[in-house]
C-alpha cells in the first residue's frame, strides 16, 4: 500500500523570510563582529576618530555610543550591540567602546565552539559562570578610596577625569585644564548629583584654552527687544525674579473675542489691556527684583519700562537654563505676579552680561545656593566643539560615578589581563567542555590591551607576552599597556585610574549581549512591515512630486 504524500503545511504568509539553525547563528555573530570592526580602532588614547556624514552634517567622534547611534544599523542581531552601547552610555557614561569590543570578542570566541558542534546553551552557561568568577575577582582587586580628605578626593577625581579624557580629542595639552573643569562642575552639584544641572554651551571661535567654567549659570542672550540696550548690564547682589508669564500687549487680545455696539467702547477695552500689563510691570518692580527672567516673551513695552527703572530683563529663556537659575539663586518660577513674596525671589553675588566670541552671555556667579555649573566651550570647527562636549559628558559621568561608588581600578588593560590570568588558573580545576569555554572567555578579555597596543602602533604580541608573564606573578596585578614608553607598566602608580563600576558594567553588558545573540537560532522577517515602509516611501515621493508641480 503506497503512502500518499503529505501536503506541505504553509504556516507563515508568502514572502516571509525565515533563516534558522547553526548557519543563522554564525551569520548573526559575523554581523556583530562587523560592527566591532568599525569601532575597535577608536579605543584608547591613540584611537582614531570616525567621520560620519548623513547627507546634511558631518560628525567627527570617537565615542562608541555616538558612532553606533549615527551608523543606523539595520541588521537585527547587530542592533543588540548598539543597544548595549546605549545602555552603557546612559548608565555609566563611559566605556561604550570597551563594552562593544568585548561583546564582539566573546561571540568570536564562541564561534569556533559552535562550528565544532557545541550546543549554544552550554556556551551560555559557561560564559555566565566565567562572568560570576570575573566579577568576584574584580571586587577583590578594586581599591576603596578614602573620601574624608577633600584634597585627596579632589586629586583622585582629577586623575580619573584625565584618564577618561585621555582617549578623546581634547585629551592632549588641554586635559589638565578640562579635568579641573569637570571636577569643579561635579563638586558644585547637590548630593543627588543631577547631571542636568551642569550646562554646556558651545561658542565657535577662539581656542580650546579659552573655554571656561562658570560656578553658577550662563546662557546666551535671547531675542532682544527695543529698550534692551538702555538696561544696566551689571549688578552686584541683585534680587532675581523668574517667571512663566508673557509680558506683551498682544497676550490679552489673543484670549478673548468681544462684540461691540459702540465704537467708543473700544477705547475702554484698549485702556483695560494697558492697565493689566502695567499692573503686572508695577508689581514686578515693586517686588524689589533687579533681574527679570521669563520663559515666555517680554515685549518692547515691558523692556522699555524696565530699562527706564534700571532693571534688566530677558524673555524666551530656555527651560533648562531657567531651571538652573532657580537652583543657583533660590528663586521660584512664578505663573502670576499678583502676590510676590520676598521668599519667591532669588539672589546672586554678581550678574553681568558679557561678550563671549560673537555671542552675548548672561552670567550669574557667586550664587549662595549654587548647586549648578556651566561650561562654556570655545574652539574652531563646530564638529570639534560638539565632540569636546561629548568627551566632557563622559568625563563628568565618570567623576559622578566615582563620587557615588568609591572603588577604583587601574586602566590600560590591567584589569582585563588580571581577570584573564585569574580565570586561566581557575579553569584548570574544572572538568569537561566548560573548561575550554572559560579559557576562551579569558582569551577574549585580552582583546582590550591588544587593541590598545594596535591602535598605538605598538607590537601587540610582544606587549601581551610581557603582560601575561607579569600577571602570572602575583605582584603584577596592575600592569597594563604604557602608552608613553611603548611598554608595560604599573598603571596604578601611573595614575591611569577608572571607577570599578565602569569595568563591572562593561563585563555584565557585554556578556548579556553575547548570550542574547547566542540564544537566537531563528530570524523571521515579516514581509508586512517592509511592505508598509515601501508604501510610505511611495506616498512621500508622490507628495514630493505634487509639491514640485505646484
For the chain, give every domain's residue range: 17-144+409-524, 216-369
Categorise residue 101: left if φ over 0, alpha if ψ from -120 to 50, beta otherwise. alpha
Contact status, residue 392 vs residue 180, Cβ threshold 8 Å: no
pLDDT of residue 445: 93
Measure the CA–CA gap between 129 and 434, rounded to whole angstroms: 9
Helix H or strand E encompassing 52: strand 50-53
pLDDT band of residue 5 (cuts 50, 70, 90) is low
Given a contact cutoff of 8 angstroms between Cβ atoms, the answer to whether 103 and 510 are in contact is yes
As a whole-number percent, the residues of the chain with pLDDT over 70 amount to: 89
Cell of 1: 500500500
Position 542 scores a pLDDT of: 56
| The pLDDT of residue 495 | 80
* 3 state SS of 337: coil
C-alpha cell at 210: 579659552
Query: What is the rounded end-to-end Cα distance, in angstroms, of the chain?
Result: 74
Domain 216-369 has CATH 3.30.390.50: no
pLDDT band at 208 (very low <50, low <70, confident <90, very high): confident
* Rounded Cα distance, 32 and 101, in Å: 10
pLDDT at residue 202 tops 80: yes
Indicate whether 496 pLDDT > 90: no
Tell me if the domain spanning 17-144+409-524 has CATH number 1.10.10.10.
no
Question: What confidence score (pLDDT) does residue 444 get?
Answer: 93
Q: Are 366 and 193 in contact (CB under 8 A)?
A: no
CB 247 within 8 A of CB 253: no
- Which of 93 and 410 is assigned the larger pLDDT? 410
In this prediction the pTM is: 0.76
Mean pLDDT of the chain: 82
Rg over alpha carbons for the chain, rounded to the nearest Å, is: 30
The pLDDT tens digits for 20-50 are: 678 888 888 888 888 888 888 988 788 888 8
* pLDDT score of 18: 55
Q: Which residue has the cell 566565567?
A: 130
Q: For 284-333, how does the pLDDT look when each residue is reduced to its tens digit (9 = 90+)?
A: 888 888 889 998 888 888 888 888 888 888 888 888 888 888 888 888 88
Average pLDDT, integer, range 493-500: 83
Rounded to the nearest 5°, which phi and psi values hold at 242?
-115, 130
Instruction: Tell me if 114 sits within 8 A of 25, measured CB to CB.
Output: yes
Higher per-residue confidence, 408 vs 135: 135
d(CA 186, CA 393): 11
Of the pLDDT bands very low, low, confident and very high (cuts 50, 70, 90), residue 171 is low
The pLDDT score that the predictor gives to residue 419 is 92
17-144+409-524 and 216-369 share one fold:
no
Amino acid at each position: 500500500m503506497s503512502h500518499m504524500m503529505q501536503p506541505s503545511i504553509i504556516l507563515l504568509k508568502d514572502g516571509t523570510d525565515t533563516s534558522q539553525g547553526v548557519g543563522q547563528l554564525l551569520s548573526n555573530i559575523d554581523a556583530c563582529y562587523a560592527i566591532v570592526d568599525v569601532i575597535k580602532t577608536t579605543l584608547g588614547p591613540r584611537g582614531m576618530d570616525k567621520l560620519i556624514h548623513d547627507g546634511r552634517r558631518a560628525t567627527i567622534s570617537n565615542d562608541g555610543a555616538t558612532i553606533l547611534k549615527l551608523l543606523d544599523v539595520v541588521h537585527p542581531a547587530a542592533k543588540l550591540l548598539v543597544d548595549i552601547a546605549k545602555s552603557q552610555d546612559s548608565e555609566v557614561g563611559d566605556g561604550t567602546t570597551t563594552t562593544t569590543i568585548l561583546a564582539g570578542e566573546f561571540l568570536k570566541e564562541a564561534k569556533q565552539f559552535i562550528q565544532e558542534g557545541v550546543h549554544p546553551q552550554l556556551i551560555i552557561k559557561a560564559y555566565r559562570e566565567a562572568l560570576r568568577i570575573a566579577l568576584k575577582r574584580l571586587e577583590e582587586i578594586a581599591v576603596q578610596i578614602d573620601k574624608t580628605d577633600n584634597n585627596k578626593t579632589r586629586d583622585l577625581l582629577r586623575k580619573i577625569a584625565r584618564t577618561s579624557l585621555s582617549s578623546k580629542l581634547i585629551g592632549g595639552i588641554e586635559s589638565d585644564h578640562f579635568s579641573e573643569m569637570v571636577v569643579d562642575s561635579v563638586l558644585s552639584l547637590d548630593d543627588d548629583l543631577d547631571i542636568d544641572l551642569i550646562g554646556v554651551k558651545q561658542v565657535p571661535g577662539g581656542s580650546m584654552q579659552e573655554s571656561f567654567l562658570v560656578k553658577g549659570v550662563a546662557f546666551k542672550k535671547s531675542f532682544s527687544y527695543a529698550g534692551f540696550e538702555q538696561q544696566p548690564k551689571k549688578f552686584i547682589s541683585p534680587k532675581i525674579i523668574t517667571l512663566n508669564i508673557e509680558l506683551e500687549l498682544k497676550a490679552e487680545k489673543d484670549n478673548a473675542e468681544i462684540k461691540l455696539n459702540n465704537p467708543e467702547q473700544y477705547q475702554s477695552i484698549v485702556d483695560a489691556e494697558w492697565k493689566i500689563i502695567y499692573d503686572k510691570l508695577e508689581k514686578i518692580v515693586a517686588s524689589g527684583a533687579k533681574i527679570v527672567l521669563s520663559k515666555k516673551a517680554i515685549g518692547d513695552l515691558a523692556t522699555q519700562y524696565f530699562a527706564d527703572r534700571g532693571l534688566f530683563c530677558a524673555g524666551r529663556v530656555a527651560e533648562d537654563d531657567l531651571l538652573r537659575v532657580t537652583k543657583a539663586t533660590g528663586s521660584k518660577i512664578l505663573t502670576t505676579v499678583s502676590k510676590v513674596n520676598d521668599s519667591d525671589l532669588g539672589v546672586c553675588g554678581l550678574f553681568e552680561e558679557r561678550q563671549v566670541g560673537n555671542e552675548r552671555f548672561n552670567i550669574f556667579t557667586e550664587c549662595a545656593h549654587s548647586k549648578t555649573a556651566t561650561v562654556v566651550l570655545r574652539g574652531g570647527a563646530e564638529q570639534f566643539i560638539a565632540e569636546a562636549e561629548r568627551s566632557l559628558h563622559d568625563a563628568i559621568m565618570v567623576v559622578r560615578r566615582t563620587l557615588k561608588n568609591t572603588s577604583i581600578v587601574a586602566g590600560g588593560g590591567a584589569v582585563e589581563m588580571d581577570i584573564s590570568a585569574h580565570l586561566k588558573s581557575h579553569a584548570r580545576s574544572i572538568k569537561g567542555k566548560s573548561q575550554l569555554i572559560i579559557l576562551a572567555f579569558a582569551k577574549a578579555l585580552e582583546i582590550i590591551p591588544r587593541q590598545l597596543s594596535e591602535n598605538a602602533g605598538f607590537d601587540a604580541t610582544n606587549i601581551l607576552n610581557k603582560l601575561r608573564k607579569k600577571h602570572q606573578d602575583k605582584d603584577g596585578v596592575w600592569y597594563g599597556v604604557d602608552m608613553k614608553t611603548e611598554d608595560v607598566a604599573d598603571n596604578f602608580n601611573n595614575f591611569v585610574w577608572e571607577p570599578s563600576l565602569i569595568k563591572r558594567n562593561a563585563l555584565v553588558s557585554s556578556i548579556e549581549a553575547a548570550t542574547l545573540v547566542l540564544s537566537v537560532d531563528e530570524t523571521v522577517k515579516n514581509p508586512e512591515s517592509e511592505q508598509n515602509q515601501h508604501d510610505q516611501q511611495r506616498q512621500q515621493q508622490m507628495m514630493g512630486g505634487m509639491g514640485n508641480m505646484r
